[in-house]
Amino acid sequence: MAPGLDDVVLNLDSAARSGLSVILALMMFSVGLGLRVDDFRRVLRRPGVILFGTALQVIVLPALTFLLTFAIAPTASIALGMMVVAACPGGNASNVLTQAARGDAALSVSLTALSSALAVLTTPFNIVFWAGLHPRTSHLLSSIGLDRGAFLSETALTLGLPLATGLFFAERAPRIAMRMRRPLHVLSLLALGAFIVGALITNGSPLAATGWFIFPVLVIQDAMALALGYGGARFAGLGGAAQRAFTFETGIRNSGLGLVILLSHFKGLGGAALITAGWGVWHLISGGTLAAYWSQRAPGLAPPAPIETEPAT
């Protein structure tokens, strides 16, 4: 066990919590700047493939993670962190990794766009639903006094408004949006990093003493997520390029978003914060290694009778 890890909280004053709200708005605004209406139009051209890939992320991954917590999560806060990560949408790094791995980049972009848009509702819902269903994390939510209804409504608003604003701006001024997106994203990550450094300075001793518990958990959950994407695409009869897109879309999560949610609404519980922050590093290592391997190998062709095909033109 990891004694005391559930009791470690990263205490933030009202100014810090206001700063986190700004960081969250910047993160979602930068995500919106990277979206285009055409990304969603592609859903209509390949509805079966894209909806199936999205379902793997927003339904199957959280459900499997819930089951996995009973086997590998040594504490309630670590289980909560695993659920928060699984509830987050795909990260934009998945598009880069898919392209590097010679996968279906257009499919990857559409999956990221749809999961990011749905995250306004699915991320808070999945966190509350699965954490509330688990006996240990349900008790944890009660102990920190989480108002589940307020959390759902507030998170949907704080995620949805900047995302919609970013998408609107991207459609109206695409060149400016393209130039703004990366600096804003980097700024939000740097600001979040500053919060993490401050928390480690304040709570570094108890976290360092127990943090080593999280590494095997990270490896196993990440491997499960990557395998789910790959196996799901093979089960659906998709070709090699689509299999690679599905793998990265399911295995790469926007864990920075999850960390901000944890710090804002869950008092930065030690185990949950460690898992979520650790994902931000580990999924890029595992995903980058897999992309490098696949980059040297051409993807296979699609087998007969895939679940969805492009309409004839």
In a domain, 81, yes or no: yes
Residue 75 has phi, psi (to 5 degrees) of: -135, 165
Residue 206 is assigned to a structural domain of this protein: yes
Mean pLDDT of all residues in 139-160: 80
Minimum mean pLDDT range among 15-24, 182-191, 215-224, 243-252: 15-24
Establish if 145 belongs to a structural domain: yes
In a domain, 92, yes or no: yes
- Residues for the chain: how many in total? 313
| Mean of pLDDT values over 19-34 | 81
Top-confidence residue, 215 or 11: 215
Q: Please, are residues 128 and 66 in contact by the beta-carbon 8 Å criterion?
A: no
Domain boundaries, position 166: 13-295
- When pLDDT is cut at 50, 70 and 90, the band that residue 6 belongs to is low
- Give tens-digit pLDDT for 271-286: 788 888 888 888 888 9
Q: What is the pTM of this model?
A: 0.82
**pLDDT (0 to 100) of residue 297:** 87
Tell me whether residue 165 is exposed, middle or buried, using C-beta atoms within 10 angstroms of its C-beta: 0 to 12, 13 to 18, 19 or more: middle
Structure tokens at 246: 């599905």
Q: What is the CATH number of the domain that holds 112?
A: 1.20.1530.20
As a whole number, mean pLDDT of residues 294-298 equals 90
192 lies in a domain? yes
3 state DSSP class of 102 = coil
Residue 159 domain-assigned (yes or no)? yes
Residue 7 lies in a domain: no
The encoded tokens of residue 255 equal 């864990």
Q: How many domains does the chain have?
A: 1
Q: Is residue 300 part of a domain?
A: no
